[in-house]
Structure 1
Amino acid sequence: MTRPLLLRFVTVVGSSASFFLLLSVVPAYAQSVPGRGSDQAGLVTGALMSATVGGELIAPWLAARCGHRMLLGAGLLLLGAPALVLTASQSMGWIVAVCLVRGLGFAFTLVAGGALTASLIPPERRGEGLALIGVMAGVPSLVGLPLGSWLALHTGYGPVCTAAALLALVSVVAVLGLPGREAAQGPSPGIFAGARSGTLGRPTAMFAVTAIGAGIIVTFLPLAVAPGRSGVVAAALFVQPAAATASRWFAGRRADRSGAAGLVVPGLVVSAAGILVVTRTDFPVAVVMGAAVFGAGFGITQSATITLMYSRVPASGYATVSALWNIAYDAGMGIGAVGFGTVAGSTGYPWAFALTALLMLTALVPAWWDRTAARDQPAPARGPRVVTAEEKQ
C-alpha cells in the first residue's frame, strides 16, 4: 500500500465511476426525443464501445511514445470533459461524437492505467494487487449503473452528466503524483504480434470465450426470466458481479502462492457450470444461483489470465497485455450479446444458454495447449521492477 498505489486507486475509482454513471443514462437521453426508437439508444452504446476497442488497439503505441502517466491523464480528460457538454444538444451527431471521445478516453485509462498498476506492484504480490484494483473498479460499476439512472430521473440529465465529468476530471490531480515515464526493459510487442504469440494469445482467447457469458447474462437474463419476476433478475444481476469481485480477490491471493496457471481450468469449468444452471429460467433459485456460480468462475478467470499474462512479458510489454486483456473483455461481451440473440431466436433461451455453456468449455483446448507449452519452455526473464521514490526512502 504505497502512496503511488493509493493514488492509482483514486484514478481507478474516478474513471470507472464516470464511465458507469452515464452508461445507461446516455442511451436514455438519446431516446428521450419524441419519435426516436430503441435503435438510437443502441447507436450511442455501439459508438461508445467501438471507440473503446479502437482506443485499446492504439493505446500501447501511444504509451510507448508518451508514457503511461501522460496517457492516463489524457484518458481522464477525454472521459470527463465531453460529459460537461453532452446536454448542449440532443442531435444524434452530437451525442455520438461525445460517446466516441469518451470511449477513446476510457480505453486510454484502461490500458495505460493497467500497465502502470503492474509496475507499481511487486511481482510476488501481483495477483493480489491486480485483484484489489479489480475490486476498486468493480464497486463503482455496481453503484454507478443504478445511481446514474436514479439521478437522471430525479435531477435531470444535466446534473448527472456534470457529476460524471467531475469524477474523471478531479482524478487527474492524482495522476501528477504517479511515477513518470517507465524505463523500457526490452522491446515492446505490438497488439497483433502479442495476439499471434502463444504466450499471450492463448490466455487472451480463454478469457474472451468466458467474457461471452458475461455479455449474455447482462443483456438477456432480464428477457429470459418470466415477466413479473423483476426481483429475481435484480438479485441475479447483483450477485453475479458481487461474486466475481469476491472470487477475483481470492484467486489473486491464491495465484501469488501457488501460481496463476493452475486456476485457469477451474475458472473456466465453474463459469460454464453457472451458465448451465441458468438454463432453468423457470426456477428463480436456479437463476440466482447460476448467476452467482458464473460470477465466481468469471472472477477466477479474470484474475488468473491477467496475472499469467503480466508474468510472461517484461515491463515494456505491460501496455500490450493490458490492451489485449481489455479487448478480450469488450469483444467477448459484444460478440456474446449479438450471437446469443441470433441463436435464442431459433432455439429459445434455455437451449441457447446450454449451447453457450458448451461453447465456453471449448476454452479448455487453449488452456491445455498453454499448460503443455509452459512445461516445455522456461519462463522469460522478467525485467527489474520500477522502484518508487517512497520505497527508496
Structure 2
Amino acid sequence: MTNQQEPIWTKSFISIAITNFFIFVVFYALLTLLPIYVLDALDGTSTQAGLVITIFLLSAIIVRPFSGKVIENIGKKKTLVFSTLIFALSSFLYMLIHHFNVLLLLRFFQGISFSLATTVTGAIAADLVPAKRRGEGLGYFGMSMNLAVVAGPFLSLTLHQYMAYNIIFLVFGMIMLVGWLCGMMVKNLQENAAPSVKKSFSLSDLFEKKSMPISSVGILVSFSYASIISFISVYAQSLGLIKTASFFFVVFAAAMLISRPFTGRLFDKSSPNIVIIPSCIVFAIGLFSLSFTHSSWMLLFSGALVGLGYGTLLPSFQTLAIQAAPAHRSAYATATFFTFYDSGIAVGSFVLGIAAGALGYSKLYFALGIFVLLITLYYKWIANLRQKQKAANIQVGMK
C-alpha cells in the first residue's frame, strides 16, 4: 500500500487529536489560573499556590504506570469516554470549591482522570496512524499538546481580565465537554488482544520494558524542558522582558508548526537519528541562546530554537517508544513513556528551581545546554544498542 492509500487524517484521528488538544488546553489553562486563584480568592500563600500544581502532577505520575493495565482491561474506547467525561465534570467542580484542602482533593482526583485520558489518547492515535507513517502521524498528533501550551495560558489570562472565577471554570468545563463529544466520535476500536495467559503481578503490568530505554532519554529531555515552562516568565521579568515573554510560546508553536510536516516525513522515510540528533543540538543551542539573552529579539529567537528542537523531540521519542513494543502493548508503551516524561517535568521543576537560586537563570540555561548535548551522546548510545539488537534478531531469524 502507498502512503496515499493509508491516510493519516481520518475522521477518528482528527477527533482524537481534537480531544487531546482540549484536554491539554484545560490542563494548561488551570495550570496558569489556579495559582492566581489560590492567592486571590482563597487568600493562600505562594507555597499553597505551588502545591495545587504539584499535587496534580503527583497523582498523574502515581496512576500513569497502572493506566496501561486499566486500558487493557476496560478497552481503549471505554477508557477514553470515561476518563474524558470525569476530567470534564471535575473541571466544573472548581466552581463549588471555597476551601484550599478541598481544592487539593479535587486536584488529586482530576490528576487521575488526566493520566488515564492522556495515556489512552496517545495509544489510540498510535493505533489509528498507518505503521509506515507513524513518525509523521504522531508528530501531527503531538502538535495538539504543543499548541495547547499557547492556547491554554492565553485563554486563562484573557478570561481572567473580564470574568469571575466561577464563570471561567464553567467555560473550562464546557470546553472539555466538547473534547468528550469529540472522543465519542472515534470509531469503535478493534483492540489488539494479548495472549491470554494467567500470571502473577509483574513489572510488565506497569511498564513496557522494551520502551524503557528510549523513555530514559525522554525523562532527561523533559527534565531540561522543565526549566522553560517553570522559569521562562521569571527569567524574562528579571531581564525586563516580561511583555515579550507572552510571545515566547507563540514563536515556539510557530517554529514547531512550520517544521513538523518536514521532520515527521523525514523520520519515517530516513532514520530517526537524522531527526533526533540535530533536534537535540538545536534544543541545546536554544538553551545557550537563552543564557545570553538581553533583548526581546534574542528571547523570541531562543523560543523559535527551543520550539524547533524540543518540539520535534517529544513526538519522535513517543513514536520510538511505541515502535519498540508489540502492537497489543501500545497502551503500556504510551504509559511508560509519559510516566518518565511527567517525572522529568516534576523533578526538573523542583531541582532546577534550587539550581536557579544558586546559579542564577543565565548560568542555569547555559549548564542545561551542555546537559542536552550530553543527552545527545546518551541517545546515540541507546540507538546503537537498538540497532545491534535488531541485527541480532535478524540473524537469529535467518538460522
When normalised by structure 1's length, the TM-score is: 0.88
| 1:55 corresponding residue in structure 2 | 63
3-state secondary structure, aligned to 2:98: coil
| 2:307 corresponding residue in structure 1 | 295
Judge which range, 153-162 or 22-31, deviates more: 22-31
| 1:235 corresponding residue in structure 2 | 247
Q: Residue 12 of structure 1: CA displacement?
A: 1.9
Give the residue type in structure 2 aligned to 1:112.
V
| 1:206 corresponding residue in structure 2 | 217
- Cα contact 2:35–2:50 (8 A) shared by 1: yes
Q: Residue 121 of structure 1: CA displacement?
A: 1.1
- Cα contact 1:138–1:245 (8 A) shared by 2: no
Equivalents in 2 of 1:176, 1:222: separation in Å? Answer: 37
- Cα contact 1:74–1:108 (8 A) shared by 2: no
C-alpha spacing 1:287/1:140, structure 2 compared with 1 (3 Å): closer
The answer to whether 1:77 aligns with 2:85 is: yes
The answer to whether 1:3 aligns with 2:11 is: yes
3-state secondary structure, aligned to 2:14: helix
3-state secondary structure, aligned to 2:116: helix
Equivalents in 2 of 1:329, 1:29: separation in Å? Answer: 27
Q: Residue 175 of structure 1: CA displacement?
A: 3.2
Equivalents in 2 of 1:293, 1:6: separation in Å? Answer: 28
Unaligned runs of 5+ in 2: 1-8, 197-201, 395-399
- The residue correspondences of 1:221-232 to structure 2 (distance < 5 A) are 221-225=232-236, 226-232=238-244
- The residue correspondences of 1:263-342 to structure 2 (distance < 5 A) are 263-342=275-354
Give the residue type in structure 1 aligned to 2:16.
R
- Cα contact 1:18–1:79 (8 A) shared by 2: no
2:263 aligned residue (251, 265, 273): 251
- Cα contact 2:26–2:172 (8 A) shared by 1: yes
Q: Deviations over 1:115-146 (max 9, x none)?
A: 11111111011111111112233333312212
The answer to whether 1:136 aligns with 2:144 is: yes
3-state secondary structure, aligned to 2:247: helix
Q: Residue 227 of structure 1: CA displacement?
A: 4.8
- The residue correspondences of 1:169-184 to structure 2 (distance < 5 A) are 169-177=177-185, 178-180=187-189, 182-184=191-193
3-state secondary structure, aligned to 1:282: coil
C-alpha spacing 1:284/1:4, structure 2 compared with 1 (3 Å): closer
Equivalents in 1 of 2:280, 2:270: separation in Å? Answer: 18
Q: Deviations over 1:352-374 (max 9, x none)?
A: 11111122222124312222223
The answer to whether 1:147 aligns with 2:152 is: no
- Cα contact 1:75–1:109 (8 A) shared by 2: yes
| 2:355 corresponding residue in structure 1 | 343
- Cα contact 1:72–1:175 (8 A) shared by 2: yes
3-state secondary structure, aligned to 1:377: helix
- Cα contact 1:210–1:271 (8 A) shared by 2: no
The answer to whether 1:190 aligns with 2:199 is: no
| 2:387 corresponding residue in structure 1 | 375
Judge which range, 364-373 or 127-136, deviates more: 364-373
Q: Residue 174 of structure 1: CA displacement?
A: 3.4
1:357 aligned residue (354, 369, 373): 369
Aligned-residue Cα RMSD (Å) equals 2.4
3-state secondary structure, aligned to 1:184: coil
When normalised by structure 2's length, the TM-score is: 0.87
The answer to whether 1:219 aligns with 2:256 is: no
Q: Percent sequence identity over matched residues?
A: 21
1:120 aligned residue (105, 108, 128): 128
- Cα contact 1:251–1:300 (8 A) shared by 2: yes
| 1:90 corresponding residue in structure 2 | 98
- Cα contact 1:60–1:190 (8 A) shared by 2: no
Equivalents in 2 of 1:247, 1:329: separation in Å? Answer: 22
Equivalents in 2 of 1:48, 1:42: separation in Å? Answer: 10
